A and B are shown apart, each in its own frame.
Chain A
């Protein structure tokens, strides 16, 4: 077992705290810069029958105005299905959709002018909700089915059976840095784009297609994003494409720095879901049969909804053995902004569904839900997922047992029971729930990455790879990997901005894969150079290259210890290349999507969390009082960074399930389009006590240093908050053997509604 890796701070930490970390809108503005704004639809679903932009063109500061007709290539900013228009062409599919693009000499001028367009519409009926779309059979693709055994038969013979359903809301990403892109025209039709994107290669390819030029003529660069969380995987593209279009058409640099309210209206969010379950179980709470129907609101276009809903299905087992199961997944097409990737990518919705089923089973039997969870965990002889993947390292039982002990769950649960008998208004609840999250893009070909490492003759190192930095600490983790290869301090490694002209054809930094893929690619690149350097050292020291050892004191070859920089200089003089690419493709994964069977994941990351909450049964207010987390990151690449991801993920998940409510008006307008009405957690919402421990173990698969991915899995740790709230609500009517039909987010209103329904 290797030594633990050091907890180096984020590579930009000092720049962050001094305000000198540069984001795209912070760069000095080039002369002649144009500022952009979209003219947006004021109808929800309509044919466009006329466009009069004369007032827009006449407005102060306006330099140019563009519509779909002005796009030289494909009017397409979509990731897969070619159905997202940069500018509406003949019809609008959601309220706020861009129809025209204004370029002006100031941001204010562009925004003011954008409100002056006169658009004639012929309104069409709009489908807004999951129910609307289901009634109209409006779907982005056919309902998918993943099944094992005969669930219906198992339900028929099970000693107990419960049916029910609930709803969970979507979520706005609320990255603090809004969508932004800056395009600079180059010579001979080339273009440089600074884009706050998780997916520079996709932006590059889309912009090239949009302008009718080649990918080689477009360079996309991103040094850092001010948060992304999936919201800049596909949603950065329209802003970058708009800037590129204006730069190409006018020959002037163009920046799109989107206003927050516009951003919230224009960009996709987490999918909201409704869940219906029909579960059969025995006297001990073992699930014998389950039919689970997941339905999501995908919005107006396909975006990444197929893969997101697939991931919901993949996680509808969470950590539990479901012997006979049928998972149905409806992907509904509505006239709302297209839902998109968000940390967890459907996994949270699928997992929340099965956790509710477990809570219902426990409540029906009058049993401790944790006992029911434990009874249903995967184990020997019952270790194959509904999609046919065998689980290699089922650490969930041991991990849950340890957290149960460390959090003092049983004593606290007893104390809470006592509290609840003594208090009329306030009721407490506690819940402990596991997380098992599959790591890999389920679209297999995306599991590849490239890196480029240069070692300079002075011994300094420059690192570049296809992964993007959105705050998650990817850059420092990969820099540490590279530094380790040469046994030099990480400060020797100059981390450089992600650029499509350095590493081509990259995948999005998504699916928690950043460190796994790019860390390994950079390791390969660095190892290639190290091997060349070892050859040089071997000839100096008179030993075999295999015997050369890179140490913090220098490179040891035979009797010689050569300082690293000296060796680099000598290698250069010896005409040895000190630059290399590296490439990695995740092995062993294969998935048959038509049958929903195979091994979509390289491995699983695990965790568990225990939350204690208190509910005010008069107002529906609640507080999360204490949280204990035990989480598996394998052999951590940087424990401090990983702990940061765990805590941040948990609190973001807590927000999704409690305060963050998206409200659409009956006419399709998003009413929660600003932080005034859309409420992410503040420091005061953080649980009073939040303790996090890392599980001591290593990845069974040979990932980079046996680490595990950490970006998304902790988000789902927060599901215990919703279960705990349900427990507290159930305590209002302790004799009832049912779990309250609490919807997420558990706003005061939702909690009061659940209390009333539970008492009824």
Chain B
């Protein structure tokens, strides 16, 4: 298949792109742009960070992504910047010279990735308004201890960039786009097209950000049968925010959804902020996080507690499903062949509801939960009238804690009620011991999250994060 993208305003045409060829390998071994490095080939170290852009207004909306798990066809019709792009004019950017002066590199291998993350921040790429440490939490450095990198970022926080020419070139590129270039790769441009494709190929593999499926290829060495890329389906990329809540199209990326979700509840915003590094949140989607059915996917427990529902579509048929009903068993979801998740709706919690969402992992950033707990208590006059409690990491699927909910429902919000709910929680789950935590730890920590909720409601500081920065 032929794909085309813009690299430093020049069109790169790849006539023989395999659907599972990665952008990183193409840059390094075909274009000989070896500044972009492979550190892990699974999206966890950021050494392969590049900027990918779409036309927006008369400029470009850039986002930092991991090139190692980005399939080449996913950047068809997009603009790409690598570390080499930054010295196209001959001289390095002020950010780079500052980093060089500042001792921001030691072995230098991770450095181009940091440069691209921080350059993205400086030119206003997605997530640029986050604290610097968040912007680079998806970039691992083993040498410096990060201080000199953070310093350099503070010193050069803004770089002007004129993308008008790139935007024009990108529009021309997309306009001249051959509509059917498919050979082993589909990239529908509308929801109807997607629905029709799935009727024709009911067992096709849907790809949104490839932050999970990418590893099937780079680590599992698998081929993908009939990949369908949904990142260019406009109807799946919409965010609707109203009094009832937030509705996210299935291909909305975490980074795009963050602000709306944070407005639903700050805990939800914080949860999303802690999913992957920024590069992962700039690629991965809430829809993918749900649809792949991971027992520890961080989104679902919180969304279940908030009462989220899914709209699934097959052909022209749609059905709505409570999110908790979607997860049937480990690796098994209530999705028929040919059906796809179109959108997820998350209701807005009542102003006086008690919402508490907590994720426990070895590392705060870019780690997967050992336990993720979400509590949503609807209150009336000091009594809990409705309780929705959901956990990830405690069972084969994200799921509600029925006994715990029963202990809370119609009970006064008191220490004694919490104690009973913690006790009841022991009947809800029989967690596993695995690489992220032992069963006893999970059981104890899950109960303690209820205690944390209690102490927080008493106005006590309960999170070590509150004492930072």
The winner among A26, A176, A178 for most chain B CB atoms within 10 A is: A176
Of B142, B435, B438, B464, which contacts A671 at CB under 8 A?
B435
A682 CB to closest chain B CB (Å) equals 5
Residues of B within 8 A of A229 (CB): 142
B109 touches A227 (CB 8 A): yes
Against B, the Cβ 8 Å flags (1 = close, 0 = not) of A1-45 are 000000001101111111111110110110000000000000000
Q: Of all chain A residues, which has the CB nearest B100? A: A13
Asked if B269 is at the interface of the complex by the 8 Å CB criterion, the answer is: no
Asked if A347 is at the interface of the complex by the 8 Å CB criterion, the answer is: no
Of A16, A174, A260, A661, which contacts B142 at CB under 8 A?
A174
Residues of B within 8 A of A18 (CB): 35, 83-84, 86-87, 92, 96
For the complex, give the distance between the alpha carbons of A693 and B45 in Å: 30
Asked if B235 is at the interface of the complex by the 8 Å CB criterion, the answer is: no
Contact residues of B between 357 and 382, Cβ < 8 Å to A: 358, 360-368, 370
A10 touches B106 (CB 8 A): yes
Residues of A within 8 A of B143 (CB): 227, 471, 644, 648
B145 touches A9 (CB 8 A): no
B106 touches A644 (CB 8 A): yes
Q: Of all chain A residues, which has the CB nearest B40? A: A260
Of B42, B110, B360, B467, which contacts A674 at CB under 8 A?
B42
Against A, the Cβ 8 Å flags (1 = close, 0 = not) of B319-356 are 00000000000000000000000000000000000000
A651 CB to closest chain B CB (Å) equals 4
A690 touches B147 (CB 8 A): yes
B108 touches A226 (CB 8 A): yes
**Besides the contacts A619-B445, A675-B45, A683-B146, what 7 more A-B pairs have beta carbons closer than 8 Å?**
A22-B34, A259-B41, A426-B462, A623-B465, A625-B468, A644-B103, A684-B137
Closest 6 CB pairs of A and B: A19-B35, A471-B107, A226-B109, A16-B108, A651-B145, A19-B83
The winner among B32, B39, B449 for most chain A CB atoms within 10 A is: B39
For the complex, give the distance between the alpha carbons of A239 and B39 in Å: 17
Asked if A423 is at the interface of the complex by the 8 Å CB criterion, the answer is: yes
For the complex, give the distance between the alpha carbons of A650 and B277 in Å: 23
B107 touches A175 (CB 8 A): yes
Of A14, A674, A749, which contacts B92 at CB under 8 A?
A14
Asked if A408 is at the interface of the complex by the 8 Å CB criterion, the answer is: no
B243 CB to closest chain A CB (Å) equals 34
B-contacting 9-mer, from A108-116, A385-393, A537-545: A108-116
Question: Taking A9-B100, A229-B142, A471-B106 as contacts, is the C-beta distance between A425 and B445 under 8 angstroms?
Answer: no
A-contacting 9-mer, from B128-136, B225-233, B299-307: B128-136
The winner among A17, A622, A649, A659 for most chain B CB atoms within 10 A is: A17
Contact residues of B between 270 and 288, Cβ < 8 Å to A: 277
A19 touches B84 (CB 8 A): yes
B460 touches A423 (CB 8 A): yes
B108 touches A224 (CB 8 A): yes
Residues of A within 8 A of B444 (CB): 752
Residues of B within 8 A of A423 (CB): 460-461
Q: Report 20 cross-chain contacts, Cβ distance below 8 Å, ordered by A residue.
A: A10-B100, A14-B92, A17-B115, A18-B35, A19-B111, A29-B29, A260-B39, A261-B219, A425-B452, A471-B108, A472-B106, A620-B360, A623-B468, A643-B103, A648-B143, A677-B368, A682-B139, A682-B363, A683-B133, A749-B437
B136 touches A683 (CB 8 A): yes
B108 touches A260 (CB 8 A): no
Of B105, B140, B150, B435, which contacts A680 at CB under 8 A?
B140
Question: How many of chain A's residues have a CB under 8 angstroms from any CB in B?
Answer: 89
Asked if A585 is at the interface of the complex by the 8 Å CB criterion, the answer is: no
Asked if B141 is at the interface of the complex by the 8 Å CB criterion, the answer is: yes
A16 touches B366 (CB 8 A): no
Residues of A within 8 A of B106 (CB): 10, 227, 471-473, 644, 648
Contact residues of A between 585 and 601, Cβ < 8 Å to B: none
B464 touches A615 (CB 8 A): yes
Asked if B161 is at the interface of the complex by the 8 Å CB criterion, the answer is: no
Residues of A within 8 A of B47 (CB): 176
Contact residues of A between 229 and 279, Cβ < 8 Å to B: 229, 259-261
Residues of A within 8 A of B134 (CB): 684
A231 CB to closest chain B CB (Å) equals 10
A176 touches B367 (CB 8 A): no
The winner among B29, B362, B444 for most chain A CB atoms within 10 A is: B362
Residues of A within 8 A of B437 (CB): 749
B142 touches A176 (CB 8 A): yes
Residues of B within 8 A of A (CB): 28-29, 32-42, 44-45, 47, 82-84, 86-87, 92, 96-97, 99-101, 103-112, 115, 132-134, 136-150, 219, 221, 277, 358, 360-368, 370, 434-438, 441, 444-445, 448-449, 451-452, 455, 460-465, 467-469
Residues of A within 8 A of B92 (CB): 14, 17-18
Residues of A within 8 A of B84 (CB): 18-19
Question: Taking A261-B219, A679-B367 as contacts, is the C-beta distance between A618 and B449 under 8 angstroms?
Answer: yes
A616 touches B462 (CB 8 A): yes
B140 touches A426 (CB 8 A): no
Residues of B within 8 A of A647 (CB): 144-145, 147-148
Question: Taking A618-B448, A674-B40 as contacts, is the C-beta distance between A652 and B460 under 8 angstroms?
Answer: no
Against B, the Cβ 8 Å flags (1 = close, 0 = not) of A601-619 are 0000000000000111011
Asked if A534 is at the interface of the complex by the 8 Å CB criterion, the answer is: no
Asked if A574 is at the interface of the complex by the 8 Å CB criterion, the answer is: no
A619 touches B448 (CB 8 A): yes
Question: Taking A17-B92, A677-B435, A679-B362 as contacts, is the C-beta distance between A28 and B32 under 8 angstroms?
Answer: yes
A425 touches B462 (CB 8 A): yes
Residues of A within 8 A of B448 (CB): 618-619
Q: Of all chain A residues, which has the CB nearest B363? A: A679
Residues of B within 8 A of A753 (CB): 441
Q: Of all chain B residues, which has the CB nearest A473? A: B106
Q: Of all chain B residues, which has the CB nearest A15? A: B108
Residues of B within 8 A of A22 (CB): 34
A672 touches B142 (CB 8 A): no
Of B139, B366, B370, B455, which contacts A748 at CB under 8 A?
B370
Asked if A747 is at the interface of the complex by the 8 Å CB criterion, the answer is: yes
For the complex, give the distance between the alpha carbons of A489 and B434 in Å: 57
Asked if A145 is at the interface of the complex by the 8 Å CB criterion, the answer is: no
B102 CB to closest chain A CB (Å) equals 8
Residues of B within 8 A of A663 (CB): 435
B107 touches A618 (CB 8 A): no
B83 CB to closest chain A CB (Å) equals 4
A677 CB to closest chain B CB (Å) equals 5
B107 touches A176 (CB 8 A): yes
Asked if A502 is at the interface of the complex by the 8 Å CB criterion, the answer is: no
B221 touches A111 (CB 8 A): yes
For the complex, give the distance between the alpha carbons of A352 and B405 in Å: 45
Question: Taking A224-B108, A752-B445 as contacts, is the C-beta distance between A175 and B142 under 8 angstroms?
Answer: yes
Of B45, B150, B452, which contacts A683 at CB under 8 A?
B150
Question: Taking A423-B460, A686-B133 as contacts, is the C-beta distance between A17 and B103 under 8 angstroms?
Answer: no
Question: Taking A14-B92, A423-B460, A690-B145 as contacts, is the C-beta distance between A620 and B42 under 8 angstroms?
Answer: no
The winner among A18, A111, A229, A671 for most chain B CB atoms within 10 A is: A18
Asked if A640 is at the interface of the complex by the 8 Å CB criterion, the answer is: yes
Residues of A within 8 A of B82 (CB): 19
B462 touches A683 (CB 8 A): no
B101 touches A659 (CB 8 A): no
A344 CB to closest chain B CB (Å) equals 15
Residues of B within 8 A of A690 (CB): 145, 147
Question: Taking A224-B108, A225-B107 as contacts, is the C-beta distance between A260 and B41 under 8 angstroms?
Answer: yes
B463 touches A616 (CB 8 A): yes
Residues of A within 8 A of B368 (CB): 676-677
For the complex, give the distance between the alpha carbons of A426 and B461 in Å: 7
For the complex, give the distance between the alpha carbons of A683 and B463 in Å: 19
For the complex, give the distance between the alpha carbons of A679 and B108 in Å: 20
A412 CB to closest chain B CB (Å) equals 14
Question: Taking A644-B144, A663-B435 as contacts, is the C-beta distance between A625 and B467 under 8 angstroms?
Answer: yes
For the complex, give the distance between the alpha carbons of A748 and B464 in Å: 12
B452 touches A619 (CB 8 A): yes
